[in-house]
Structures are given as structure tokens and as C-alpha cells.
Amino acid sequence: MLHGKKILLIISGGIAAYKALELIRLFKKSGATVRCVLTNGGAQFVTPMSVAALSEEQVFTDLFSLKDESEMGHIRLSREADLVLVAPASANILAQMAHGLAEDLASTTLLATNSPVMVCPAMNPMMWNHAATQDNLKILEKRGIHIIAPDVGEMACGETGQGRLPEPENILMAITNFIQKDKPLSGYRALVTSGPTHEPIDPVRFIGNRSSGKQGHAIASALAAKGAAVTLISGPVNIPPPKGVETISVQTAQEMLAACENNLPADITVCAAAVSDWRVDGCAGQKIKKSANKTPPTFQLTENPDILKTISNHKNRPALVVGFAAETENLIDNAKSKLIKKSCDWIIANNVGDNEIFGADNNLVTLVTAHETTEWPQASKETIARDITDKIVKYMIHIKSQKKAA
């Protein structure tokens, strides 16, 4: 349910902190990685040792913050999470958040984060109902902080009213719903190839091509944004790996194929890499020197494996296999014959003849499937990646409903 998700759990003070331990166990069980920040107040109720044992991660406390800062700064800690959850959230930490105080590791992290934040307040009913707390909650709500309201019931202090931390199962359910909202590909695995391949001639030279990896990387990113667990197999590129995507770097077509096969099964595969069709047969072990008689060397080329075709015919074939066709002429005819030759489901065809596609930010593509040939308007590679992803979402939903009906 929360497979691959990273949760940063901030445990602040209050008797309900003991429930945070059960929450960590439930998060781990549903596949999430949980890192915890324990405030000084929180550490009065649960020990860093029990939090570390359950989360199987280092626990971040103010006591260790200097050492932690050198290993993982509070900025990285706050940014790497898919969700920052404060549970239990004391009246004090809500006030710190509402007023932008950065007094300790927890409040500093909350001020520095750009991830979604959820709070689960838990406190004495009088404190909960106090105008100061209610005003702080209004401020937080207005800023887009998600609040899971406390339950009504008997409190540990003996009073009755609203202020109890909801049961961990209910918090887990609220968080799962939140994370899966607008994540129609959550639960699906996607494999994307991107960039060029470099086929060595000798230790210093290679055969390569002009692919920048921009389109493939944008697709990996767009699929991840819709909730898919994405593995990106990338040839050598000069752009950063997309956020929230597992990226495996390779050099050659053979390495790219091996990495793809190692990462099957997947539900969706998009082969956007510009794979070199040939490699040099018997790459030289040493740099090839200019010969005395000045005769240029000749190379015997061997055909590389076709990754798209191999995946399309694999025993673990993904439900949807998408290829690209880089053409300089006869775009649609070539794309249609590639669709058949490579046994894939869709081809995204682009004309690369005018040299304005490789490395550019915009792209002009035509979608070719067994049922349609549609030219899309010219757009940025990010927009095209989102459009391809939307089409993939519809297709996967369609397949799922067909499976259910069968």
C-alpha cells in the first residue's frame, strides 16, 4: 500500500507517543521507509532505542543533532520524505509550526520541508479547545497542512473530551488515502530506458549518438508522479536523475538490456533510449595509435541486442510496452512497421531529421498504435511525458476493468 514511500515521522511529547511505536510498525508492514525525529518531549515518553529498533533506521534527536547534521542535514531529511507526519502533535509543536519557530530539530525540519505535512494532534481536551490552539490550527489548515482531528474519549489524565490520538490503524488508513489520491499508477511497476548508449572502440573512444535523455527522464518522472514505482535505466547523460525514481546508470546496449531484464517483471515499459544499433567487434584493450603508415583503422561492427523487441517477447512481458521511433524520413510508415517488427503496443514516432529534437526542450510526436495514428501538438518534453503518462493511466485502468469483468 505504501510500498517505496518515505515517511518522516516527528514524535512530539505526550502520553500518546507510545502509539507512535505501533504506527511505525504498521508503516513498515505496508512497505514504507520510516525515519523518525524524536523531540525532547517525545523522548520523555518513548526511547530513541525502541524507535530505532522498530523503524530499523537511525533516530534523529536534538541530542545527536550535531553529529547527524554532518551525516544528513535537516534540510535533506525534510526534503527526501514523501510525507512528513507529526504524530502525536503536541499543542506546543502546533504553535511552533503556526508561528514559524525553529527552536529544535523537529521545528526546524518542519520549517525547511517542501513535502506535504500531516499532523495528528493529541492533547488534553481543554488544551485542544483553547482559542490559541484552535487559532493555530486554522493558520496551519490555511497553509495546506493536513490535520487528522483527535478522537473523543477518555484521556490518560482522567478527563473526557476531544484530544485522543486516533488509533494507529485509522491514521495509517488516512495516510494511505492521502498518498494514493491522484496516484492512479500506485501499485504498478514501470521500467523506462533513456539516453544514448556508448559502445567502446578503445578505452578512450566510443560510438554514441545525440540523445540527451530529456524525454526518457521526463517520462520516468511523470510516471512516478502518478504513483508508479519507476526504475530508470539510463545511458550516459548530463542531466540529473529524476526525483522519486530508482535510476540505474549503464554505458552500453548490452548493459542496458541486462539491467532491464534484471528489473522485470514490470507492468509498464517505455523504451525511450537511443540504443546504438551496433558495437565494435572486439574493443581494443589499449588506445589505438595512429599507425606508422597512416592507414586509418577499420572496425568490424556487430549488431546489438534489440532491447524493446526482447522485452516485447519476454516471458515476463509487461502489460504495456511502448517504444519510440526516431526517423529522418517516412515517419508514419516506419513507425507502423516498427510497431509490428518489435511486437510492442505503441510507438511514439518523432522526426529527428532537422536536428532540432536531440537535446531540445520541445518535441513533436505522433502516437502510432494498432488502432490509431495521432499527431500531437508540439509541446515541451515534460508536457509530452505527462500526455503519454495520462494515456498509460487510461490504458492500465482499461486493462484492469477488463480483467475484473473476465
- Interacting residues toward ligand CTP by CB under 6 A: 193, 253, 271, 273-275, 277, 304, 306-308, 323-326, 338
For residue 243, the one-letter residue type is K
Task: Find the Cα–Cα–Cα–Cα dihedral 328, 330, 335, 340, rounded to 10°.
Answer: -130
Q: What does the alpha-carbon distance between residue 46 and residue 34 come to, in Å, rounded to a whole number?
A: 16
CA distances from 221 to 9, 159, 250, 269 (A): 25, 50, 19, 14
Active site residue 271: no
Residue 304 Cβ vs ligand CTP, minimum distance, rounded to whole Å: 5
Nearer to ligand CTP, 176 or 363 (CB): 363
Nearer to ligand CTP, 12 or 193 (CB): 193
Phi and psi at residue 249, to the nearest 5°: -95, 135
DSSP 236: S
Residue 299 Cβ vs ligand CTP, minimum distance, rounded to whole Å: 18
Spatial neighbors of 352 by CB under 8 A, at least 6 apart, are 326, 327, 328, 358
First to last CA, the chain: 25
Angle at 372 between CA 370 and CA 378, to 5 degrees: 130
Q: What does the alpha-carbon distance between residue 108 and residue 117 come to, in Å, rounded to a whole number?
A: 13
Nearer to ligand CTP, 35 or 279 (CB): 279
Nearer to ligand CTP, 48 or 235 (CB): 235
Residue 323 Cβ vs ligand CTP, minimum distance, rounded to whole Å: 3
Nearer to ligand CTP, 228 or 275 (CB): 275
Which uninterrupted H or E stretch holds 279? strand 278-280
Residue 342 Cβ vs ligand CTP, minimum distance, rounded to whole Å: 6
Catalytic entry in 120, 157, 260, 271:
157
Residue 230 Cβ vs ligand CTP, minimum distance, rounded to whole Å: 16
Which residues are the active-site residues?
Answer: 157
